[in-house]
Amino acid sequence: MRRLPVLAFSLLALLALSACASSTGGTAAPAASAPSAAPAASAPAAGGGGCSTSSEGAAVTVNIQNFAFDPPEVTAAVGETIGWTNADSAPHTATPDDGACDTGNIAQNATAGLVFDAAGTYTYHCNVHPNMTGTITIQ
């Protein structure tokens, strides 16, 4: 009778471990949990509100250092590029919570930019490290 609980526990442990393995048989890093869909502090202006990546020089800059956006709150004009420069060794993203656009992974010492086409307040996060958050105000 003692074998049944041991067998059941072993089977559950094996299932839990196999869920962590990749399709090639190796172990995968834990996936970053998706941030909750937090609404922006204020909606973009009527008629839309999107953003896109930009390779233009940044009018407003944000440093990524010590797993934080610095400054955490920035203000820019409609059409100005906001640039993020990563000083950490880990990759980071700048992703508006509404998912309208994304910088993609920003490698160490690299810069990526976004441009917003509507006034409003946009909260954003890092897809790799969802605890990293910031706010963009577009005027």
**What residue ranges do the domains of the chain occupy?**
51-138
Share of the chain above pLDDT 70, in %: 65
Tokens describing residue 93: 């993203």
Q: Which residue has the tokens 């834990």?
A: 30
Inter-CA distances, 136 with 1, 41, 53, 54, 100, Å:
62, 10, 15, 16, 14
Q: What is the pLDDT of residues 122-138, one digit of tens each?
A: 999 999 999 999 999 99
Beta bridge pairs of residue 64: 69, 86
CATH superfamily entry for domain 51-138: Cupredoxins -  blue copper proteins (2.60.40.420)
Residue 4 binned pLDDT confidence (cut-offs 50, 70, 90): low
Inter-CA distances, 45 with 75, 97, 98, 119, Å:
15, 16, 14, 5
